[in-house]
Amino acid sequence: MESWLKNEYLIPLLLVLLILAAAAWAGSRIKYRRYKRRIDEAELEKQETSRRRYVTAKMKEHILERDNATCQICGISKGYLDSLAPGLGDYLLLEIDHITPVKQGGSGSDESNLQVLCWRCNRKKSGTRTNEEVAEMIDYGIELPHKRRRLFR
């Protein structure tokens, strides 16, 4: 009886198996590289987004001064609140808003894309609404001073 080792089909069979294994390995490498590239691209985009979101302390100061520390939608300011009751202004939280959201390409290094908003208007604006849309929604139940410098554009 002939040993299976001497089977004339053995070598071709091993070759076919080797080729299949090599193909499977190459396929997995290609898939891994694609996956890796996707991850790297997502990471780069994240870094780019956080770079564009960043507003320097100096720029924040400049925007606060330019907008007269006044919410550019509802017009509220610390000074106005202080005029109602001394010290009341300390309760107002003013924020620097990206007029065009960072996710839509807006940048924090471009001062024409920055404005002062009160926290309330900023939450409503979020990354989804324009100044005009927020202004139509808000009714804070207090008389506001309307000292907005450059409200809508």
Please give the residue ranges that form the binding site for Zn ion (CB under 5 A): 71, 73-74, 118, 121
Q: What is the DSSP letter of 96?
A: E
Quick one: 55 or 81, whose CB is closer to Zn ion?
Answer: 81
Q: How many residues does the chain have?
A: 153
- Comparison of 71 and 81: residue with beta carbon closer to Zn ion: 71
Q: How far is the CB of 126 from Zn ion (least distance, A)?
A: 13
The nearest distance, CB 152 to Zn ion, in angstroms, is 13
Looking at the Cβ atoms of 73 and 102, the one nearer to Zn ion is 73
Residues 6+ apart with CB under 8 A from 88: 81, 82
Residue with tokens 């324009």: 130
Q: Closest approach of Cβ 40 to Zn ion, in Å?
A: 40
